[in-house]
Amino acid sequence: MNTGDPTRAVAACFIIKVSAHNFGVNYNMIRFLQTPGPIKKIVLGGLLTIICALMAITLIPGFGNSSFLGTNANAGVVATVDGEDIPTTEVQKQARQILEQQYPQAGAQTQMLMPFVAGRATQILINQKVLLTEAHRMGLRATDDDLRHYLRQGPLGQELFPGGNFVGENAYEDFVSRLNYTIPQFEQALKDEIMLNKLRGLVSAGAAVTNAEVRQQFEKQNTKVKFDYAVIKKDDVLKTIHPAEAELKAYYDRNKQTYVNSIPEKRQLKYVVFDNTKMLAQTQVSQQELEAYYDQHRDEYRVPEQVEVRQILIKKPLPGNDGNVDQKAVEVARAKADEALKQLKAGGNFADLAKKYSEDTGTAKNGGSLGWIKPDAFPAQQVSKAVASLAKGATSEVIDAGYAFVILHVDDKQEARVKTLDEVKAQIEPLIKQQKAGQAAQRESDQLLTEARSTSLEKAAAAKGLQVITTDFVTSKDVLPGIGNDPQFMNAVFSQTANAPPDQAQLHQGFAIYQVTAIKPPTTPTFEEIRGRVEQEFKNERAAQLLTQKTQELADRAKSAHDLRKAAKEAGAEFKTSDFVLPDGQVPDVGSMTGPAAVAFTLKPGEISGPINSGNTGVVLSVVERQAPTEQDFAAKKDQIRDSLMQSKQNELFGLFVENLRNQMEKSGKVKINQKEYEALTKPRTDEGE
């Protein structure tokens, strides 16, 4: 999330991902929203996975004037807002959701990011409660009617009501199974969102965008320019630099501090490797071991009762705005289901008729196949009973499932059972082998370590016919024979003292018994040792200076002669002409037009720019032609630009409002942060996870 200026609050729409396991689906809630009645006018429009709360995030290290709770603060509470606690568990949950949403590829770095994200999560939750407190104070409310309207018209309304029709209980059940709230919790979260939207609407109502601002933004975004440009490349400058030995030595002396201890510590090692893969090849698994493992883990191999089933689903009509269901439409749906059943009884192929009649788009294209499922997986009890009672190959009558008329066909059935040892032997045997090989390697390694400490590593290894590997001096980043790149091993090795007794370290593929025989501490290289590095750094620095100087001279010469082409020729620079380019375009050797080259859009035709330095090139340009956008373009884009400008102004107004509101509540002591709990959450982790 782009927070902008860290000293100001910025309104943000925060996306919360909710996952699967603890969300209890309330079937009565589904029926309530499907049943006609004066306050039951619409079918469920979507339990949203997006809680889009406009919050302000303040990233001020001391939290402005926030008060801090003293020693009597409740443990497990990070902050209070107007007397309402924000538990540590709530912050942790919010932080995990931020990590899942914004850093999905973090992997092993997740725990390293957690303290930083926990700080942001704390601020989000505080600001949310600050806003809700103000919304309540202003008398804003979210009614049940507001909630029902929001459910139907919200971001996922189209997903759950494609074409205005409810997707059905199966699809809905599958959808809500990914959520991690109870129904009451989720409804309250949506009502909070509605109140925040109302508050934001009131605060940002004063935002206005003039026609002149729209026109100005349109011209800025859509005006194209074509320009001549002269290019000096850093690589070409580098070729001209031939430093004398004295210059390089002076550069080394001037920058010697940067080379202090730049040659890392090195260590000389000897070690013996116990590779689990070799042990694995020698390991055998007996029938007795297989049976013992199988008996201990029998529950893991239980297979529940399952059926492979197909369906033809004909949807019932939804209640209208008056809460009533069109009975004629219900009769039409029933007639369609009866016709499908009639054709089935006449010998029709179920899969073909499912493709023809079924209105469940997810399964119809596959001949109505639901695959292997539990008989009780259906939300409608009458459907589950029918599935359980049908024999393999049988087809049901038309079933009134409440939300639809359903015809079922059972392709196959599988009783609940425990898989036999023969069925699972292929997956059990490798597990036992790995376990035995690891234990054998551990025993061998422990024995060798004991013997090496009593005699020597060489004698102990020779007695077992093992090879001792001896290295030259290596760094902690080097790849070692028989081990490869193993940070865990290197951490152990580089924490050992020279000539200490042999020790043991676990490897990603086994174990190693090692000894450090000599240590070279980090050193500062002499000039002679790093002359090549010094020369390269000297050239890069001098090239950057010369590039800047030459580009400035090129610009001065071009402006003086009013002729960029002539100046480029005299300076030995390449002369090129661009195509027409927009402000967000790219030009070879110039790069993005959003950077320093954006000056091109401020110049008149014939004007010459100053020096433009991208690091690898120096450029001077002269605008050849400006191409204004057409009125047709303006007509097509003006509404979009107006909306974008309005959104920016509304966000700015709302951000300032939240900042001021938060400051006021902090000064009055209504926002308090438990410093001890907060610091525990946001304390940086080390690589070891401390």
DSSP per residue over 185-240, as a string?
HHHHHHHHHHHHHHHHHHHGGG----HHHHHHHHHHHH-EEEEEEEEEEHHHHHTT
Q: What is the pLDDT of residue 177?
A: 59
Average pLDDT value for residue range 415-433: 86
Mean pLDDT comparison of 107-116, 127-136, 219-228, highest-scoring range: 219-228
Q: Is the pLDDT of residue 105 over 70?
A: no
Q: What is the pLDDT of residue 54?
A: 33
End-to-end CA distance of the chain: 27
Average pLDDT value for residue range 385-412: 89
Average pLDDT value for residue range 350-379: 84
Q: What is the pLDDT of residue 107?
A: 56
Quick one: angle between helices 183-203 and 144-153, nearest 10?
A: 90
Give pTM, 2 decimals: 0.51
CB 597 within 8 A of CB 612: yes
Residue 366 amino acid letter = N
Q: Is the pLDDT of residue 42 over 50?
A: no
- Cα distances (angstroms) measured from residue 145 to each of 29, 148, 424: 15, 5, 55
The percentage of the chain sitting over the pLDDT mark of 70, rounded to a whole number, equals 81
518: β partners: 268
pLDDT tier at 49, thresholds 50, 70, 90? very low
The pLDDT tens digits of the residues spanning 467-484 come to 999 999 999 999 999 998
pLDDT tier at 151, thresholds 50, 70, 90? low
pLDDT tier at 665, thresholds 50, 70, 90? very high
Q: What is the 3-state secondary structure (H, E, C) of 521-567?
A: CCECCCCCCCHHHHHHHHHHHHHHHHHHHHHHHHHHHHHHHCCHHHH
Q: What is the pLDDT of residue 237?
A: 95
Nearest Cα residue to 33 out of 183, 162, 179: 183
Q: What is the pLDDT of residue 201?
A: 82
Average pLDDT value for residue range 251-261: 93
Q: Is the pLDDT of residue 494 over 60?
A: yes
Q: What is the pLDDT of residue 157?
A: 63
CA–CA separation, 340 vs 336, rounded Å? 6
CA–CA separation, 356 vs 348, rounded Å? 11
- The residue among 372 and 618 whose pLDDT is bigger is 618
